[in-house]
């Protein structure tokens, strides 16, 4: 049975990469986690709530390989999941490009619009975008907590789902992945930067009067840009969508908040940065989004 399952490599052994790796192993799919540096264990720890609402931690055996070992080997990748942060993807893929088969299937699981750069890097491969509302975080390099159960839209026809286990993750195929990508992008543009600026959990943005004003202003600007780009359907009721997201994820720290707090670079160029670049092409200025970008960039510089 296992022989018929595709062998997936996972680039980006972070929260999402480890989460998918863990569930794929539980479904008996052969997977290999590609790590930037060697890992001290060959077990992943997955903490989650089961279908019967019990909290459970499982140790799951996995195979890992470092980027360097892979690049120096003659291993050929036919199925690759990319779960790096957008700003690291180009560098990571470039290192192992020689191992990725020309006709490989590459599934990109990311926020932001980094996937738009990938056709240049992988011109002959079959690229599929996935957008998820699952939430996960790592407690160490090989321990992951599935913090919020969500849904993943896969931008391919339904046959594609046969390549993926679906016992634990909720997946559906979707013909309008651009819409889903823009929908997530606009929410991330409105929320992530402000959680950094106000140094708070998602839900706190609704409690801080200054943050509420900024949320209204950024949503207004996003709606204007989306309108000009012919995407007004994406931002119908954006402020309500943002408020609902903040309520549903009130105890979460955004990934941008976590990145800044841990002295890492953020995905800002692929979130607000992408939106502003698209707006600028049409001659639209975006002072609110630009101010958020400037603030985050300054914090990234200070953390170096």
Ligand X SMILES: NC(=O)c1ccc[n+]([C@@H]2O[C@H](COP(=O)([O-])OP(=O)(O)OC[C@H]3O[C@@H](n4cnc5c(N)ncnc54)[C@H](OP(=O)(O)O)[C@@H]3O)[C@@H](O)[C@H]2O)c1
Could you give the residue numbers annotated as active site? 184
Token reading at 16: 């999402």
Select from 5, 8, 9, 14 the one that contacts ligand X (CB under 6 A).
Answer: 14
Residue 5 within binding range of ligand X, rule CB under 6 A: no
Residue 88 within binding range of ligand X, rule CB under 6 A: yes
Residue 98 within binding range of ligand X, rule CB under 6 A: no
What distance in Å separates the CA atoms of residue 238 and residue 222, rounded to the nearest whole number?
Answer: 9
Q: Judging by beta carbons within 10 Å of its beta carbon (0-12, 13-18, 19+), is residue 12 exposed, middle or buried?
A: buried
Distant-in-sequence, close-in-space partners of 114: CB < 8 Å, separation ≥ 6: 86, 87, 89, 108, 267, 270
User: Which residue number places its CB atom closest to ligand X?
Assistant: 14
Closer residue to ligand X (CB): 5 or 177: 177
Token reading at 254: 């955004």
Residue 272 within binding range of ligand X, rule CB under 6 A: no
The residue among 8, 263, 245, 287 whose CA lies nearest residue 111 is 245
Closer residue to ligand X (CB): 129 or 289: 129
Closer residue to ligand X (CB): 5 or 137: 137
Residue 67 within binding range of ligand X, rule CB under 6 A: yes
- What stretches of the chain show up as alpha helix (H) in DSSP? 15-26, 67-72, 86-96, 118-121, 177-197, 209-228, 238-248, 255-261, 272-281, 287-303
* Least gap, CB of 2 to ligand X (angstroms): 26
Residue 138 within binding range of ligand X, rule CB under 6 A: yes
Q: Choose one: 108-116, 122-130, 228-236, 240-248; the region binding ligand X (CB under 6 A).
A: 108-116
Residues forming the site for ligand X (CB under 6 A) = 11-17, 36, 67, 83-86, 88, 91-92, 109-111, 132, 134-136, 138, 141, 255, 267
């Amino acid at each position: 049975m296992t022989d018929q399952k595709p062998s997936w490599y996972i680039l980006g052994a972070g929260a999402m990469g480890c989460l998918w790796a863990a569930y794929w192993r539980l479904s008996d799919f052969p997977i290999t986690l590609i790590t930037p540096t060697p890992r001290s264990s060959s077990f992943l720890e997955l903490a989650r709530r089961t279908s019967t609402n019990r909290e459970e931690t499982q140790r799951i055996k996995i195979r890992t390989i470092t980027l360097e070992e892979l690049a120096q080997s003659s291993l050929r990748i036919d199925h690759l999941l990319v779960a790096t942060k957008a700003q690291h993807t180009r560098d990571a893929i470039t290192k192992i490009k020689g191992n990725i088969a020309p006709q490989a299937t590459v599934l990109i699981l990311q926020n932001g619009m980094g996937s738009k750069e990938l056709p240049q890097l992988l011109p002959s491969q079959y690229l599929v975008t996935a957008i998820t509302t699952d939430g996960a975080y790592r407690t160490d390099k090989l321990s992951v907590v599935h913090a919020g159960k969500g849904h993943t839209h896969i931008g391919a026809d339904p046959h594609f789902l046969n390549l993926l286990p679906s016992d634990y993750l909720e997946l559906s195929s979707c013909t309008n992945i651009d819409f889903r990508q823009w929908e997530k992008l606009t929410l991330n543009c409105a929320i992530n930067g402000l959680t950094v600026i106000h140094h708070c959990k998602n839900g706190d943005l609704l409690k801080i009067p200054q943050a509420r004003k900024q949320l209204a202003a950024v949503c207004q600007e996003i709606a204007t840009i989306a309108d000009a780009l012919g995407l007004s359907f994406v931002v119908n009721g954006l402020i309500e969508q943002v408020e609902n997201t903040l309520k549903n994820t009130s105890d979460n720290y955004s990934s941008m908040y976590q990145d800044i707090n841990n002295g890492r670079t953020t995905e800002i160029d692929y979130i607000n940065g992408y939106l502003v670049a698209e707006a600028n092409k049409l001659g639209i200025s975006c002072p609110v989004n630009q101010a958020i970008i400037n603030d985050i960039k300054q914090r990234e510089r200070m953390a170096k």
